């Protein structure tokens, strides 16, 4: 639970119970701390009372409500940070994070041993079997960071022959590099000045590293692309400088996929008008990609779990936040 700025506590709460007949209760196999959890942690999203935290989860179904049809107790499942019915017109179009019945899992708090998941049939995807423990980090990554990086690359229309730039070297940015590689990008430019993150980006498929930021970063991207800018830019930070860096790095007609949760971002209309780039972003509809991502992980094609460079027992969750806040860790996995 978050009690105030920089004050995360591991405390006892009542066990969650079925509230709606479409709910499921999951016993968590692994959970983690998200870069977006750092915004309220740092006091940038003020709170008025202690709140549960966490929205990334994999685990075993313990109990289901009377109207749950396809999800059954004992299944190992992966879900995303918005519950969705997966049947409404918005879901059917592939935007499950904006489902007409969307429910934020963060409100329940996934950094816990048990979790209530609303709209279980629409939200949860079962794996083919009970996974070995070494697959848990990658399956957990699919729940948010991989799904979000994947959506960003999809939104930026990454594909064969494309030159891609990734702004942001957090877990989402790094997995957007992995996604771009899987989608067949010709060149992938990762923007990072942190050696461990640069190395992981290279391992995930980056072909170039740019350490400059802001205007200097844009100039470097232009230099690498015959003055044109890239076809596809992924923005995975959410600040004014990172968003403008993404737009200015993209060539006219190109695409920006933005998934960093914006804080204080204001787009200048005139510059946007003449930039002539496509902008697509938002909370990732991870549910759209989950079946494909689980399949790639299950068959050993991708190993996104490598973004977890710190593992802690759940009761040491406060250290996970500290390590990520101080950028000592890329992403902290928590074992319940």
- Please report, as ranges, the residues that interact with Zn ion according to CB under 5 A: 84-85, 88, 91, 99
User: Shortest gap between Cβ of 101 and Zn ion (angstroms)?
Assistant: 6
Nearer of residues 83 and 302 to Zn ion, judged by Cβ: 83
Query: Burial code of 134-155, b = ≥16 C-beta within 10 A, e = fewer?
Result: ebbbbbbbbbbbbbbbbbbbbb
Nearer of residues 118 and 229 to Zn ion, judged by Cβ: 118
Measured torsion, CA atoms of residues 91, 96, 100, 102, in degrees rounded to the nearest 10? 150
> For residues 297 and 311, what is the distance between their CA atoms, to the nearest angstrom?
20
> For residues 192 and 157, what is the distance between their CA atoms, to the nearest angstrom?
22
Nearer of residues 91 and 275 to Zn ion, judged by Cβ: 91
Nearer of residues 29 and 84 to Zn ion, judged by Cβ: 84
> For residues 232 and 246, what is the distance between their CA atoms, to the nearest angstrom?
9
User: Shortest gap between Cβ of 115 and Zn ion (angstroms)?
Assistant: 20
User: Shortest gap between Cβ of 98 and Zn ion (angstroms)?
Assistant: 8
> For residues 209 and 316, what is the distance between their CA atoms, to the nearest angstrom?
34
How many secondary structure helices (H) and strands (E) does the chain include?
Answer: 12, 17
Residues with Cβ within 8 Å of residue 55, at least 6 apart in sequence:
34, 81, 104, 105, 106, 110, 144
Residue 334, SS3? strand
User: Shortest gap between Cβ of 15 and Zn ion (angstroms)?
Assistant: 28
DSSP state of 190: E
Nearer of residues 104 and 252 to Zn ion, judged by Cβ: 104
Nearer of residues 23 and 85 to Zn ion, judged by Cβ: 85
User: Shortest gap between Cβ of 80 and Zn ion (angstroms)?
Assistant: 12
Using an 8 Å Cβ cutoff, are 150 and 168 in contact? no
Structure tokens at 321: 């936040």
User: Shortest gap between Cβ of 95 and Zn ion (angstroms)?
Assistant: 8
Nearer of residues 99 and 178 to Zn ion, judged by Cβ: 99
User: Shortest gap between Cβ of 11 and Zn ion (angstroms)?
Assistant: 33
- Helix H or strand E encompassing 24: strand 24-32
Using an 8 Å Cβ cutoff, are 52 and 8 in contact? no
User: Shortest gap between Cβ of 100 and Zn ion (angstroms)?
Assistant: 5
Nearer of residues 80 and 84 to Zn ion, judged by Cβ: 84
> For residues 77 and 67, what is the distance between their CA atoms, to the nearest angstrom?
18
Tell me the C-alpha to C-alpha distance, in Å, between residue 4 and each of 7, 8, 325.
5, 8, 15
């Amino acid at each position: 639970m978050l009690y105030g700025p920089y004050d995360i506590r591991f405390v006892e709460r009542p066990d969650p119970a079925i509230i709606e007949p479409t709910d499921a209760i999951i016993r968590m196999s692994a959970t983690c701390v998200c870069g977006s959890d750092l915004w309220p942690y740092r006091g940038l999203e003020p709170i008025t009372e202690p709140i549960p935290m966490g929205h990334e989860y994999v685990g075993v179904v313990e109990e289901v409500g009377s109207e749950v049809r396809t999800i059954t107790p004992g299944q190992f499942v992966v879900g995303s940070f918005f519950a969705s019915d997966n049947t409404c017109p918005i879901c059917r179009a592939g935007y499950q994070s904006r489902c007409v019945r969307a429910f934020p899992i963060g409100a329940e708090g996934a950094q816990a041993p048990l979790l209530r998941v609303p709209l279980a049939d629409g939200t949860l995807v079962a794996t083919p079997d009970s996974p070995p423990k070494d697959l848990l980090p990658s399956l957990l990554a699919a729940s948010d960071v991989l799904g979000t990086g994947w959506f960003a690359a999809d939104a930026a229309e990454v594909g064969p022959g494309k030159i891609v730039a990734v702004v942001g070297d957090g877990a989402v940015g790094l997995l957007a590099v992995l996604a771009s590689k899987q989608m067949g990008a010709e060149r992938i430019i990762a923007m990072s000045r942190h050696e461990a993150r640069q190395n992981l980006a290279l391992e995930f498929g980056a072909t170039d590293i740019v350490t400059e930021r802001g205007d200097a970063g844009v100039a470097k991207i232009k230099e690498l692309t015959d003055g044109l800018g890239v076809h596809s830019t992924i923005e995975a930070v959410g600040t004014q400088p990172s968003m403008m860096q993404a737009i200015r790095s993209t060539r006219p007609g190109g695409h920006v996929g933005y998934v960093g949760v914006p804080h204080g971002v204001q787009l200048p209309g005139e510059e946007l008008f003449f930039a002539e780039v496509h902008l697509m972003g938002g909370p990732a509809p991870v549910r759209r990609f989950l079946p494909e991502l689980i399949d790639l992980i299950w068959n050993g094609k991708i190993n996104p779990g490598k973004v977890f460079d710190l593992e802690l027992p759940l009761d040491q969750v406060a250290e996970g936040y500290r390590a990520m806040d101080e950028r000592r860790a890329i992403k902290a996995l928590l074992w319940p």
